[in-house]
Structures are given as structure tokens and as C-alpha cells.
Structure 1
Amino acid sequence: MKKSFFIFLSMIACLTVRAQMPSVKPTVNGSPGNIQPFLFSVNTLTSTSPSWNLYYSGSYGERTAAPFGIDGVDQQVAFKGYLGNRFTLYANASIGIARSGGVASAQQAELLRDFVGGKTTFGPRLGLGLGVSHDLSNVGAVFSRITASFDRASWRIGGNLRFEKAFSSNRDDIDLITSIGFHHRIAGNFFAGVEAVGEDLEGFWEADEAEGGAKLLVGPSVNITPSNSRFSFSLCGGPVFYATHSTAYPSEAIRDIGTIGTQNGFTLRGAVSFNLHQ
């Protein structure tokens, strides 16, 4: 699976070289288009967005972060760029630090393309992505992601539907993950709203779901992009509800709100993105 992962990255690099580098166009109050406004949904970029961006996020959770130890902390570094022709590249690596002192990592990369919209910042967009991942337990997976969003000057909504297939006999045939977020402008480039996440939803009909059962999170979300700044900041958190409990011991698959599946908890995630262009 590692070989496939590197082949996938090589193909992306070739596309990057061939793609045109679009100029950055400001949107509101001198700030560029939003790179990643929601914490739990991946959005596609447009030609009016900053072309290449670095993205860092950190999470803290109680009774939710099994791969990194109970009540663990995880860090994620991502690279996101617009390749032209409505293609978006998104790749990240996660590092988990347990209270016991252990450290683990996971990686994933994907290529997304808008098939509806995607040529301007505002308006509806509908896209499809394909990617590969390598989780904490050395298990590889392939996944597809459906992205949908609608942006206006005063509000935005976006969400994902992700289907994942892990290459292990101890995992589910297909994992289903969904998320949605809504933001409304409060003042200037400050937005606030709510995000919701549903992970491993196949747990509603599979008693032996491999990640411990279906999990849900709903909580407040904020995003701010200072005027004439290359930085953007986001924060979201809330309670994690374990809607079902599986008979299987939770795996170490890549999940944003944990894989314990035994009791409720909470997760708080913050992120900062940096536009690499002036």
C-alpha cells in the first residue's frame, strides 16, 4: 500500500507541474477566498482562492481519541492547492501524542474536482474526490469523497460524504462518514455557525462495525480571516455521542472524533491556515 501511496503522490506532482498558477483575487474586505472554513469538512478551491496553502490543526478530546491514548492530543499538518481546471489537491499527515508518551502518525492524500460550479467563489459547487490513506496501524485504504457547498457574501454551507475501503480483513467492507457546516457573517470576515459530523454510520446496521460503532458530533463553529492577512483561523468543538456500540474492538482508522465507541465525550479542534502567495 505504501508503494501505491507514493505512486499517487507522483501523479499529483505531474499534474501540479502542468497546471497553471492562477492569480489570487480578494473577496471580502481585502481577504482571499476561504481556504478551509470548516474543521470537519474539506472544501474545494476555485481560481479566486489562494493557489497554495499550509494548514495546521490540533485537537483535544476526552474519551474520544483512542488512536492517541484516552484523553489524547493530535496534531495535523496539511498542504492544499488549486491545480487549475477545477482540481484541488489536499494531503495531510497526523501526529498523535498519548499521555503515556507514545507517538503515532498517519497520512492521506486526495485529488478533488468540481463538476458543478467551481469557477467562481460564490454560488453552488459539487465535486468528487479520490484518495489513499495509511493509518496508525499500518493499514492502507482508498476512499472517495463527495463535496458540496454554497457560498454567498453573508453566509456559506458545505458538507462531505466519504466512502472508505480499508485493505484489511478486520475492517468493514465500506466505511461511511458524513459532515456538514453552516456559517453566517457576524462582522467583517468573522463567521460563526455550527458543524455536525457522523462517523462510521454503517454502525447503525452492522453490529460488528470495526471502529466501535456510529459516532455523532454537533457543536459551534467559528472562522475568521483578518483583512489583508495571509492567515485564517477556525475553531469548533462539542459533545461526541456514541449512537451505537459495536461488538468489535475499535480499530486505529483515521477518524476526526475518535474510535473508542464505549462512552460519550467531547472534542475541541482549532486550525490555522497560511496562504503561500502574497
Structure 2
Amino acid sequence: MIKKIYLSVFFLMLIIDCCQAQQLMQTTPQNSTLEQPQPFLYTISTLNPSGRNWSVNYSGGYGEHTVTPLGFDGVDQNISAKGYLGSKFTFLATLGTGFSNNGSVHTLEQAELLRDFIGGNQPMGFRIGAGLGFRHEFNNDNVAFSRITAAYDVMRWKIGANVRLEKAFATNRDGLDIVTSVGVHRHITGQFFGGFEAVGQDLEGFWETDEAEGGARLMVGPSINYAPTNSRFAFTLCGGPIIYATRSANTQGQFAAYRELPANNGFTLKFNVGFRFM
């Protein structure tokens, strides 16, 4: 009798464990969420080892009272290619066209090479990389930059962070610009992830009263990401207010017109559609 009771309890526990395992499989995001080449819009990272395939991304957006890299003052469209070159190297190239609110048309070109230096061997966990790049901005300035990247990927979380140092080859620009960004996504349901992205530009404006580009600027906004199961597509949407946190003396001077620095706080809204090749 006691053995029958033990067996009944054992089989009951086994059934409960199976039900819990099935429920966990249904609620846990699939591996495709780790294979996305570009889960964030502003925070770039090296490719996840589980998704080191070439991809093409189409992105666009609209902004008011904003400048690169936070956005474009008008409507912009961009197409980029991102892929793995081997030996932990990631390559990214972007072409963009902007239609400004004043009716003029501008172009942007950018190329960047990144490499993992810490981690990058396993799909999950931390990886830290660095790289160099060059950009021709919408306002025709040429900019060389270096980027330090950090990423943390697990089944329910995607976290990224960047520190970018930029040198613009133009008069009346900073000797060195500091741009930082951070993105956080958490699994919501199915293949949906949600969180936020934050970008800080010209942060030296917090301690330099004569910062050459008018002061520090911040953008913080919600971000959502969706990668359908068994699909090569992935979708990201992000946007938010742009806050001009500090004002330097140059904001009211001749340079403000040269840089087209907005006088008021603004906003930006951007989307990305990525297609991953086999």
C-alpha cells in the first residue's frame, strides 16, 4: 500500500514537472532573439556568435530640432550592411539620405570595423569590443571616430553600451566629441522585447562652459524589438525627446547657424527592419 502511494506521488510530481517544462518552453524566447544583427538603433555592438551572418538593414526616421547622431531634422532613410569577417571582426557600412524640413537634401556615408577583445566566444554572456570608423555627415562634415562596445545577451535580456570618441575635420567643432549610449531590452512575451535607449552627445558641455558645439544633449526613449519565430526579419522601433541639457556661449554665436544647432528641445522617432542572410 505504501509503495502504491509512493508511486502515485512520484507520477504526480513527474506530470507537474512536465507541465512546468512545457510552460517554460512556451514562455521562453527562442534562440532567434540571440541571432539578431542589430537589436538596438543607437547602440551598436559586435555580432553575437550565434548570429554571425551578413544582414541588410533598412531604417528611417523623423526628427525636429535635432542633429547627428541623435537624428536628422526632417525625414531620413538609411540602408546598411553588417557582417562577420572572421577572427571576431564585424564590419558595418551605412548609406543615408535626408530630406530636411527646409526642403534641402543631404547624404550620409559611414563605415566601421569592430572586433571583440573580451568574450565573444559564446552566444550568451558578456562581450567587449572596440573599433574604428569614418563618417561623412548630413551637414557635409567628415568625422573619424573610435568606439568601445559592450554587450550582454541572455534569453530574457539584451543589454548594450557604447562610448564613442569623435574627431570632426571642420572648423568651429570640438577637438574631441564624446558620445555615449545604452540600450536595455527585456523579454515581454513571445518574440517581443521592450525597454529603452539613452544617448548622450557632447557630454563635455556639463563641465565646459564654452563647449564648441553649444552644449550637452540627451535623448531617452522607449524601444521595442520583435523577431518572428523562424523568420530572417527583425523589427526595432525607438524614439523620444531630445533635451538640450546645457547651453554654452557658442549657442548664441555665429557657430550656432553653422552647425544648425536647434534653439529648442526636440524629438526623434526611428525604426529599423533587418533581414539576415543564411
State whether TM-score is above 0.5.
yes
TM-score grouping bracket, smaller chain normalisation: 0.7 to 0.9
Change (3 A) 1:137 1:148: same
Q: Do structure 1's residue 106 and structure 2's residue 97 form an aligned pair?
A: no
Alpha-carbon distance in 2 for matches of 1:44, 1:251: 36
Shift of 1:261: 4.3
Work out which of the residue numbers 59, 83, 89 in structure 2 matches 1:57: 59
Gaps of 5+ in 2: 1-28
Q: Is the 8 Å Cα contact of residues 210 and 251 (structure 1) preserved in structure 2?
A: no
What is the alpha-carbon distance in structure 1 between the residues aligned to residue 68 and residue 37 of structure 2?
29
1:125 pairs, out of 116, 123, 127, with 127
Give the drift of 1:66: 8.2
| 2:37 and 2:48 in contact (8 A); partners too | no
Equivalence for 1:167: 169
| 1:12 corresponds to | none
Distance 1:56 1:62, change over 3 A: same
Give 1:1-278 correspondences, 5 Å limit: 28=30, 33-65=35-67, 72-248=74-250, 249-250=255-256, 260-277=261-278
> Cα gap change, 1:119/1:64 in structure 2, threshold over 3 Å: closer, same or farther?
same
Displacement of 1:154 after TM fit? 0.8
Which structure has the larger Rg over C-alpha atoms? 2
- Which residue in 2 is equivalent to 1:9? none
What is the TM-score with the length of structure 1 in the denominator? 0.81
Q: Residue 205 of structure 2 aligns to a residue in which SS?
A: helix
- Sort the Cα spacing of 1:155 and 1:133 in 2 relative to 1 into closer, same or farther, 3 A: same
What is the identity percentage for the equivalent residue pairs of Structure 1 and Structure 2? 51
Please state how far the C-alpha of 1:70 moved relative to its aligned partner: 8.6
Work out the CA distance in 1 between the residues paired with 2:100 and 2:48. 38
Could you list the per-position Cα deviations for residues 55-90 of structure 1 after superposition, in whole angstroms to 9, with x for gaps in the alignment?
A: 1111112222589x9951111211111111111001
Q: 1:116 to 1:103 in 2, by over 3 A?
A: same
Structure 1 residues 116 and 33: CA distance shift in structure 2, 3 A: same
Following TM superposition, by how much is the alpha carbon of 1:140 offset from its aligned partner in structure 2, in angstroms? 2.0
Q: Aligned pair in 2 of structure 1 residues 269, 119: CA closer, same or farther (>3 Å)?
A: same
- Alignment partners' CA distance in 2, 1:165 and 1:70: 20
Matches of 2:258 and 2:60 in 1, distance apart?
18
Q: CA–CA distance in 2 between the matches of 1:139 and 1:65?
A: 12
The structural deviation recorded for 1:29 is 5.3
- Return the alpha-carbon distance in structure 1 between the equivalents of residues 223 and 156 of structure 2: 16
Partner SS state of residue 203, structure 1: helix
Compared with structure 1, are the counterparts of its residues 66 and 116 closer, same or farther at alpha carbon in structure 2 (3 Å cutoff)? Answer: closer
**CA 146–152 in structure 1, closer or farther in 2 if over 3 Å, else same:** same
In structure 2, the CA distance between the partners of 1:30 and 1:195, relative to structure 1 (3 Å rule), is closer
8 Å contact from structure 1 (residues 194, 220) kept in 2: yes
SS in 2 for 1:48: helix
Change (3 A) 1:32 1:251: farther
Q: Measure the CA separation in 2 of the matches of 1:85 and 1:110.
A: 16
Could you tell me whether the CA contact under 8 Å between 2:234 and 2:273 is conserved in 1?
yes
Cα RMSD, aligned residues only? 2.3
Structure 1: 5+ residue stretches without partners: 1-26, 254-258
Q: How far does residue 236 in structure 1 lie from its aligned partner after superposition?
A: 0.8
CA shift, 1:229, in A, is 0.8
* CA distance, structure 1, for counterparts of residue 256 and residue 129 of structure 2: 31
Conservation of the 8 A alpha-carbon contact between 1:29 and 1:189: no
Distance of 2:84 and 2:200 partners within structure 1: 27
